[in-house]
Amino acid sequence: MATAAEVRAELARVQASIEQSTQRTEQFHLQLEDAKERQKLRREVDAAKFRLSVNEADNSVLCCHRSNIDRDLSGPHQPTNGRPMMSDITECSDYASRTGAHSQKQWETDFKQAVSTGTVDWKITGMSWLRNALCQAERDYVASPECVKVGGLSFYILYCPWSDRGIVSGNDGSDVSHVTLGAWANYQQDDAIDRSAFRHKFYVMRQDGQYIQWGQEEEMCEEHEDLEEVVFGPDVTSTSRAASGIFGLQHDALLQSEWVINDTLTVRVELEVRPYTGCEVDCLLPVKLAKPSIAVPPTPISSKLLSLFDKERCTDITFKVKEELIKAHSQVLAAHSEVFERQFFGGLEESVSKEAVIEDVEPKIFRAFLKVLYTDDMDHLQDTITECLKSNSSSESTGSTGNAPSVTMVSALQDLLALSHKYQVEHLLAWCQHQLCMHITEEGVCSVLCQAHLCEAQHLEAKCLSYIKEHMSKIASTKEFARLTTEWPELILKISLHAAGVSPKDAAAAVSVQQEVRKRKREAHPSF
């Protein structure tokens, strides 16, 4: 048992620690105020930069307008069809003698020059919890965390899970609208009497990953001082009628529909804004001469390369993919992948035979992969996946069973992830990770985690680990997780470390130590 002196000494140490902690608390409070002040100053810098960009845009328009006046292309004293103004006739003594003259000019006034465009992608995760979260916050709707600035306007996107709850849009609270998915805009400058015109289209992601347009494209033209009082969207109504919901589905029905994937709703809004550019219509934009009679056509090199691939013209290499032959162009592939370059120009067997054998992927998937290398267009992948899914549905409805395995959205994306890693196509690797993150399920997360581990897809691996941590009670009873525990001990270690809150850097070091121990054990016991 401690003596009284020892207890007093311990008390003195604790009191000293309390004093030090109190001093640190005061320091943190001071540092917190300094951080808030720095944040405030950064926002002031952002606002100043925005005003500067607007001023520079105005200056650019004025400079162009001045240039047009100097060239007599616009302005209040512009010549008329080559004839002098009536007030100048007396100064042109030979005007009456000039007969039979011909004058011709061509003009083009482009009202679209000043139009700016913008796109907003917004993912709402945990849709089934949304109503509870809003009730806790005493809110009727959720808005996008930040605005998107297009043509001098700032747009916020909003979602309301109640069709009969109003959204106050006026500054005085007098205007109330009902809307499920919508937006509102505001203007940051002081010239509130000016008008901006804008168009908008809303899209919702379907279960197959495609964005489907909801409602029609609409356009508005409002004075800036009235913009904050306007809420717009495909199903916006007045207070007399409830909102119809996304594709006619109210929140509860939407949760069970093809539009909510893994409890996540993903929407996209496309915006076009034409800012205020002047009072006189004929001087709104710079006026330019008509287009030349000989038009220079564009050179769509990607479509030409794709045509060579599809028609198998001028090909010099062949891929044998599960008995199907796919011809391609070695130089095009080498330009996009160093692996292809070493394979066909580095003295390997393929550089002589001009043939490569691929056994671990379906021909349709590999062909789509090659098309991306030819065009940099990811739509080829999406089209191929959709075609495979439709083919699966047709086979199931007819009862036919072919030799080819059934292709699912996740399996196709995993094959593409493996190909992009194998051939070091970084932008495709990032695209596959993004797509797979949106299709993680309790049944398939273990398989995706293994794939992410093998392909060094760190972002996808982190997403899988977080998902397993959140749904461990259900995932632990699946066959895939049981296989993981016996075949992938390093992944089980990663799951445990992630659940314990260990940083990715420290987790990687722990896995490296485990792999080294297993390696030494195998060397010491070859039969292990």
376: left (phi over 0), alpha (psi -120 to 50) or beta: left
**Position with higher pLDDT, 459 vs 297:** 459
pLDDT band at 527 (very low <50, low <70, confident <90, very high): low
Q: What is the model's pLDDT at position 92?
A: 44
| DSSP H/E element including 303 | helix 301-310
Mean pLDDT for 37-47 is: 85
pLDDT band at 138 (very low <50, low <70, confident <90, very high): confident
Mean pLDDT of the residues in the chain:
81
Rounded to whole angstroms, the Cα distance separating 129 from 278 reads 48
pLDDT band at 204 (very low <50, low <70, confident <90, very high): very high
Strand partners for 43: none
**In the predicted model, is pLDDT for residue 308 greater than 60?**
yes
Q: Which amino acid is at 237?
A: T
**Position with higher pLDDT, 459 vs 225:** 459
**Position with higher pLDDT, 395 vs 407:** 407
Fold type of domain 116-282: 2.60.210
Q: In the chain, what is the straight-line distance between the N-terminal and C-terminal CA atoms, in Å?
A: 53
User: Mind listing the pLDDT tens digit for each residue in 439-453?
Assistant: 888 888 999 999 999
Q: What is the model's pLDDT at position 402?
A: 54
Mean pLDDT for 314-322 is: 92
Whether the Cβ atoms of residue 184 and residue 169 lie closer than 8 Å to each other: yes
Mean pLDDT for 60-71 is: 70
Rounded to whole angstroms, the Cα distance separating 261 from 333 reads 35
70-79, 320-329, 483-492: the lowest-pLDDT one: 70-79
18-27, 119-128, 183-192: the lowest-pLDDT one: 183-192
User: Mind listing the pLDDT tens digit for each residue in 142-177?
Assistant: 888 888 888 878 888 999 998 887 675 554 445 677
Rounded to whole angstroms, the Cα distance separating 428 from 435 reads 11
Radius of gyration of the chain (CA): 33
User: Mind listing the pLDDT tens digit for each residue in 474-494?
Assistant: 898 888 898 888 888 888 888
Q: What is the model's pLDDT at position 61?
A: 62
- The secondary structure of residue 192, as a DSSP letter, is T
Rounded to whole angstroms, the Cα distance separating 449 from 440 reads 10
Rounded to whole angstroms, the Cα distance separating 135 from 157 reads 20
The pairing of beta strand 264-274 with beta strand 260-261: antiparallel
pLDDT band at 86 (very low <50, low <70, confident <90, very high): very low
Q: What percent helix, strand, coil does the chain show, rounded to 5? A: 50, 20, 35
pLDDT band at 114 (very low <50, low <70, confident <90, very high): confident
User: Mind listing the pLDDT tens digit for each residue in 394-403?
Assistant: 665 555 555 5
CB-hemisphere CA count at 13 Å for 315? Answer: 17
- Give residue limits of the domains in the chain: 21-73, 116-282, 301-396+403-426, 440-528
Rounded to whole angstroms, the Cα distance separating 5 from 191 reads 76
What is the residue whose two structure tokens read 């509130």?
A: 192
Burial pattern 402-427, b for ≥16 Cβ within 10 A else e, equals eeeeebebbbbbbbbbbbbbebebee
Q: What is the model's pLDDT at position 88?
A: 46
Q: Which amino acid is at 469?
A: K
Q: What is the model's pLDDT at position 300?
A: 72
Q: What is the model's pLDDT at position 131?
A: 92
Q: What is the model's pLDDT at position 360?
A: 86
Q: What is the model's pLDDT at position 283?
A: 52
Rounded to whole angstroms, the Cα distance separating 116 from 199 reads 11
Mean pLDDT for 465-471 is: 91
**In the predicted model, is pLDDT for residue 278 greater than 60?**
yes
Rounded to whole angstroms, the Cα distance separating 14 from 16 reads 5
pLDDT band at 297 (very low <50, low <70, confident <90, very high): low
Q: What is the model's pLDDT at position 288?
A: 46
**In the predicted model, is pLDDT for residue 389 greater than 50?**
yes
- The secondary structure of residue 237, as a DSSP letter, is B
Q: How far is CA 447 from CA 186, 246, 414, 485, in A?
A: 46, 33, 9, 12
Structure tokens at 405: 């395995």
Q: Which residues contact 455 (CB under 8 A, 6 or more apart)?
A: 417, 418, 420, 421, 429
44-48, 263-267, 365-369, 419-423: the lowest-pLDDT one: 44-48
Q: What is the model's pLDDT at position 264?
A: 93
Q: What is the model's pLDDT at position 251?
A: 92
Q: What is the model's pLDDT at position 130?
A: 92
**Position with higher pLDDT, 49 vs 265:** 265
**Position with higher pLDDT, 240 vs 26:** 26
168-177, 250-259, 356-365: the lowest-pLDDT one: 168-177
Q: What is the model's pLDDT at position 280?
A: 54
Taking domain 440-528, whether its CATH number is 3.30.2010.10 is answered by no
Percent of the chain with pLDDT over 70: 78
Strand partners for 149: 154
Whether the Cβ atoms of residue 272 and residue 198 lie closer than 8 Å to each other: yes
Taking domain 301-396+403-426, whether its CATH number is 3.30.710.10 is answered by yes
Q: What is the model's pLDDT at position 418?
A: 93
Q: What is the model's pLDDT at position 124?
A: 93
Closest CA to 205 of 213, 197, 215, 217: 213
Mean pLDDT for 17-31 is: 88
**In the predicted model, is pLDDT for residue 215 greater than 70?**
yes
**In the predicted model, is pLDDT for residue 272 greater than 70?**
yes
Mean pLDDT for 505-509 is: 82
Rounded to whole angstroms, the Cα distance separating 43 from 503 reads 32
Q: How many CB atoms lie within 10 A of CB 245?
A: 19
**Position with higher pLDDT, 83 vs 454:** 454
Flag whether the pTM goes above 0.75. no
pLDDT band at 357 (very low <50, low <70, confident <90, very high): very high
**In the predicted model, is pLDDT for residue 192 greater than 50?**
no
